[in-house]
Amino acid sequence: MIVSLDTNIVIYAVESHPTFGVRAQTRLASALAAGDTLMISDLVRMECLVLPLRVGDAVLQKQYRTFFARPEVQVVPITGAVCDRAASIRAMYNLRAMDSLQLAAAVEHGASLFLTADARLNTFTGLTVEVLK
């Protein structure tokens, strides 16, 4: 199974968020133990790197780049087809542009599950959305 990750999941796991870090890390470890592939979009890469670049945190930048380069993490592009699907998702579900792009990338690139901490996204019915608890 391909598990597409929302930006918040990657941030929680990489930065060991005090509330959600262990939960995210445990859920990712569980997916990998089950033989799943993790997927992120180029949009996730961009969003994760903004803060470490802004504050000049080279250590955190490296931690993110190491996560993105893991062999079990597939990085997928935001293509024209993804943008077209995102427009449809945004129109139908009234989600924010970035959320629509994330979901569209997951669908277009064959994910079976979208893992997020954002409960608003579970209204989307185009694939299974799991909200981290």
Tokens of 54: 């802004």
Q: 39: closest CA among 67, 81, 79?
A: 67
Using an 8 Å Cβ cutoff, are 120 and 90 in contact? no
Model pLDDT, residue 133? 87
Complete domains list, the chain, with CATH? 2-77+111-131 (3.40.50.1010)
Burial label for 49, CB within 10 Å (0-12, 13-18, 19+), is middle
pLDDT of residue 65: 98
pTM here is: 0.96
Per-residue pLDDT at 48:
98
pLDDT tens per residue across all 133 residues of the chain: 999 999 999 999 999 999 999 999 999 999 999 999 999 999 999 999 999 999 999 999 999 999 999 999 999 999 999 999 999 999 999 999 999 999 999 999 999 999 999 999 999 999 999 999 8
Distances (CA, A) of 37 to 18, 44, 107, 117, 124: 26, 16, 15, 19, 21
The answer to whether 4 and 128 have CB atoms below 8 angstroms apart is no
Structure tokens at 128: 């299974």
- Give the amino acid at 64: Y
Q: Assess contact for 83 and 112: CB atoms under 8 A.
A: no
